[in-house]
Structure 1
Amino acid sequence: MSVWRVLRWLMVMIVMSDAIMCLPNTRHQVWRVGSRGSNVVQQLLVAGMLDVLNHSGSSRTVRVPPESLTEVKDALQDAGIPYQVLIHDLAAHLQAADEEGRERRSADNSSCTVSSCPAPLNTHYMTFSQMEWYLRDVNTSSPTRITVSSIGKSVEGRNIWLAHILPSQPSDKAVWLEAGLHAREWISPAVALHLIHHMITNTSATSSVDVFIVPMANPDGYVYTWITDRLWRKNRRVNGGARCDGVDLNRNWDSHFGVGASNNPCSEVYQGPSAFSEPETKALRDAMLKLKDNLELVLALHSYGQDLLYPWGWSTGEEAPGKHDLIAIGQVFTQAVKNATGTEYAVKNAAEGYYVASGATDDWAMEALHTKYVYTLELRDQGRQGFLLEPANILACSEEIWQGITQVIKKINA
């Protein structure tokens, strides 16, 4: 990734938001770490000394806070890992981009209103309030196709909404989709909302299966990315006695809890004090347990990397049951995506393809619910824009995922 691309990538976070970002990133630096540094980077991530911004490709792009600069530098030098400082002060670059971002936002007034949001936005990412307006509207306007209900509350008391797409004929099979577990991955809930819209208007694709979609599993964190820190990942738990807030909700599930995660509240992969300590993961767990006997497919939407990951994430040495079927169905998905837009996704084992990590939705669903087809889907792109994917991608990304999921549902229901 060139320096110019990194600068442009960071400026996007200001441009694409309808809120003014006030990122607490003064003197944070962005580094590119050499290809041999993956293990060291993972260790520093668990220790809470850096944040990984790019998992794709051979090198890693990381954000290093000022208090960790010396330790990270020493660790890389001791291991003989080369690195390059791409951004010396992240906040300064964001401030420089803010004026341009305001002008662009003023020039494009496409948005929901308080009283009406009849469809997901194509040219903007939606605020959490806009998501709620859309879900309320569609629940009222399409009662024979969808029911929307709250399955619980977040740490700060926001609703966690579950959309149930109703089949047109009796069904004993169910599909579960989860989005927005990591706050900064805005493309994830955007795609989930468009999938809801597709399923309501296209009755044939889901005529014989119940589909359950949680479009925003971490509403507090998502709101925080709009008003304070665009790169926030965790929920908004106040960790008593610690200087850092938040729990990584994708390390909080009760599946080999603690492996590849961190017990340091300042780490981006902080697992929390115990499995299911967070109200968000408890709500998701309880809703999924009610569907245990019917779930055929669990798909957790994340970003980024354009990869379809299958279990296990907690081990590189133990093979998940039905591995070959997982790969085969995964290839059905990736081929359908490629046919739709030409975008290429890869089917990978989670631990081998990325890194060892436990406490995630996918591993828990396979282990506790015995769901046969379980995946984490890393959406667009492959690192050029990363977490800050421009909203121009929303429609195409949603369309390709819709085509992929449609073919997978057909295949597992055959």
Structure 2
Amino acid sequence: MLMGSCLQCGSVTLMLLVTVITVDARTLAASDTGAASDIAAASDTEAASDTGAAGDTEAASDTRATSDTAAASDTGAASDTEQLPTNNYQYLDGHQVWRVEEEEGNTTILQQLHVAGVLDVLDHSGPSRTIRVPPESLSEVNYNLQNAGVHYLVLIHDLATYLRIEWYLRHLATHPRVEVTSIGKSVEGRNIWLVHIMPATTCRGGRSAAVMPRHHQRQKHYRAAKARSIWLEAGLHAREWISVSVALQLIHNMVRECSVGRAVHVYVVPMANPDGYVYTWTHQRMWRKNRRRNHGSNCDGVDLNRNWDFQFGVGASSSPCSEIYQGPSSFSEPETQSLRDAMHQVNSVSKLMLVLALHSYGQLLLYPFGHTTEPAPHTPAMRRLGNIFAQHAKVGSGTVYDVMNSATGLYFSSGSTDDWAKGVLNTKFVYTLELRNKVTFLLNADQIFPTGQEVWDGLRAMIEALTPEKLSE
């Protein structure tokens, strides 16, 4: 159990959390294709099981209920109006979601077990093959289904993962250099959390010592105190799980190694699209957009990385059924509105010097613009700093990140975070980082921490280079 500051919890807890968040890609990939998966995973209830995920349709509502009603930490680090959840996630800890094969008679035994109170049928609109099984009923349900000759696939191993992220952020907020604030709500009412890591006044051995004094106000505030600021965004596209995991690793490293950002305020949104993220665990692994119900269409969702108000509509689609649907208008979505307002606020008190949006996949570091091949302001400087990232990211793992312009190196697009930050906020250094690998969104568990480490190596070098003496126009 996490106790005190996140420095005290150490890297082991973060390792477990990040692994849970991303390890499930292989199993859900198997379920997407209908193949049974027998990936072994440590579990409180089974020695080996299919690795699963976080949240289901009903668990999502449980998630919102617990996060909205839970008390905030006594430290006051969380916003007074939007409080971080306590460890109520444990209500769903160990609950699994199974999908039963579609055969005649299977729904009958499910209904019988449902009446017996040992499982929950998730879809009540008609015959359902998807069930939620609490940990105390796993053996009993498995026994009954096997005796009846009913085969099933474990889709979701642990419904508590999404709440674990919020729980981790709650305990992170007890650290004196960290503030965690909800900057807004998603379409379905989930909080969008912003982690603010403040500079330390002194460091001992690279670790935090004396810190800037904390003050309490009954409003959202973004302290910058003449220091420079950087902005990191992850999870804007729901299926890109590795971006969320890497963001959490970067937060941990930033807090732990205060000497890296002694004069820098770091703002991180580790999960910018929480509704879509939960949906990838519960329904469709490759879902990209948010969960907007589009009026007059049977297709849901808006691509949040086409919804920003800069050259809106280039390289995007006006069709709600498209993966790159731009939305009915720029900033039509509460997620992008919240991000925009927070970035404006940060920029107003301390000029943002670096914006980095984490995505996957491709191993590319892309700089603006995406709507044209004409060079953006500060292109030579962006290219030089990008090369510094790529050089240092390669040292430990050998992973190659290519540095290039978005439009010439990838494809034309607009309405994205990076182009908006460059075109509207006039941020000098702006990038989209496409993480590992070059083939698929579905990474094996052994790729999680190496990916986070190489990004940390590159980002640390970028921050160290961002001084007037070391990097000029």
Map 1:2-21 → 2, pairs under 5 A: 16-17=23-24
Map 1:344-359 → 2, pairs under 5 A: 344-359=400-415
CA positional deviation for 1:20: 8.2
CA positional deviation for 1:136: 0.5
Instruction: Kindly provide the amino acid, as one letter, of the partner of residue 391 in structure 1.
Output: A
2:318/2:325 contact within 8 Å kept: yes
Is residue 234 from structure 1 mapped to residue 234 from structure 2 by the alignment? no
- Structure 1 distance, partners of 2:42, 2:300, is 33
Is residue 162 from structure 1 mapped to residue 194 from structure 2 by the alignment? yes
Local SS of the residue matching 1:225: helix
CA positional deviation for 1:107: 4.0
Q: Which residue of 2 aligns with 1:95?
A: 34
2:302/2:327 contact within 8 Å kept: yes
Q: Which residue of 2 aligns with 1:396?
A: 450
Q: TM-score, normalized by length of structure 1?
A: 0.72
Q: TM-score, normalized by length of structure 2?
A: 0.64
Is residue 302 from structure 1 mapped to residue 349 from structure 2 by the alignment? no
Change (3 A) 1:114 1:95: farther
Is residue 279 from structure 1 mapped to residue 327 from structure 2 by the alignment? no
CA positional deviation for 1:389: 1.1
2:299/2:320 contact within 8 Å kept: yes
Local SS of the residue matching 1:291: helix
Q: Which residue of 2 aligns with 1:67?
A: none
CA positional deviation for 1:104: 7.8
Instruction: Kindly provide the amino acid, as one letter, of the partner of residue 178 in structure 2.
Output: I
Q: Which residue of 2 aligns with 1:314?
A: 371
- Structure 2 distance, partners of 1:357, 1:150, is 29
Q: Which residue of 1 aligns with 2:177?
A: 145
Local SS of the residue matching 2:34: helix
CA positional deviation for 1:138: 1.0
Q: Which residue of 1 aligns with 2:110?
A: none
CA positional deviation for 1:130: 1.5
* Residues 70-115 of structure 1, C-alpha deviations (whole Å, 9 max, x = no match): xxxxxxxxxxxxxxxxxxxx97x732224x2487874469999957
- Structure 2 distance, partners of 1:153, 1:309, is 29
Match of residue 438, structure 2, among 382, 385, 401: 382
Is residue 209 from structure 1 mapped to residue 209 from structure 2 by the alignment? no
Instruction: Kindly provide the amino acid, as one letter, of the partner of residue 97 in structure 1.
Output: A
CA positional deviation for 1:126: 8.8
Match of residue 365, structure 1, among 408, 412, 421: 421
- Structure 2 distance, partners of 1:296, 1:157, is 31
- Structure 1 distance, partners of 2:415, 2:261, is 30
2:187/2:292 contact within 8 Å kept: yes
Map 1:55-74 → 2, pairs under 5 A: none
- Structure 2 distance, partners of 1:126, 1:203, is 31
Is residue 136 from structure 1 mapped to residue 192 from structure 2 by the alignment? no
Q: Which shows bigger deviation, 104-113 or 401-410? A: 104-113
2:179/2:195 contact within 8 Å kept: yes
Q: Please tell me the root mean square deviation across aligned C-alpha atoms, in Å.
A: 2.9
2:25/2:443 contact within 8 Å kept: no
Q: Which residue of 2 aligns with 1:243?
A: 298
Q: Which residue of 2 aligns with 1:337?
A: 393
- Structure 1 distance, partners of 2:301, 2:417, is 18
Instruction: Kindly provide the amino acid, as one letter, of the partner of residue 405 in structure 1.
Output: L
Larger Rg: 2
Instruction: Kindly provide the amino acid, as one letter, of the partner of residue 151 in structure 1.
Output: I
Change (3 A) 1:116 1:201: farther
CA positional deviation for 1:390: 1.5
1:125/1:190 contact within 8 Å kept: no
* Residues 365-393 of structure 1, C-alpha deviations (whole Å, 9 max, x = no match): 0011000000000000111xx11111221
2:25/2:442 contact within 8 Å kept: no
- Structure 2 distance, partners of 1:248, 1:369, is 21
- Structure 2 distance, partners of 1:290, 1:273, is 25
* Residues 137-159 of structure 1, C-alpha deviations (whole Å, 9 max, x = no match): 1112x1x2211010000000000
User: Structure 1: 5+ residue runs without aligned partners?
Assistant: 1-14, 24-89, 118-123
- Structure 2 distance, partners of 1:351, 1:126, is 40
Q: Which residue of 2 aligns with 1:6?
A: none
- Structure 1 distance, partners of 2:326, 2:399, is 33
CA positional deviation for 1:173: 0.4
Q: Which residue of 1 aligns with 2:211?
A: none
Change (3 A) 1:359 1:136: same
1:161/1:215 contact within 8 Å kept: yes
- Structure 1 distance, partners of 2:187, 2:376, is 33
Change (3 A) 1:363 1:307: same
Is residue 326 from structure 1 mapped to residue 382 from structure 2 by the alignment? yes
Larger relative contact order, structure 1 or 2 (CA cutoff 8 Å, min sep 6)? 1
Change (3 A) 1:332 1:125: farther
Q: Which residue of 1 aligns with 2:465?
A: 411
- Structure 2 distance, partners of 1:337, 1:210, is 22
User: Structure 2: 5+ residue runs without aligned partners?
Assistant: 1-21, 55-85, 91-157, 202-224
Aligned residues: 321
- Structure 2 distance, partners of 1:132, 1:345, is 31
- Structure 2 distance, partners of 1:171, 1:296, is 12
1:300/1:375 contact within 8 Å kept: yes
CA positional deviation for 1:339: 1.2
- Structure 2 distance, partners of 1:352, 1:259, is 14
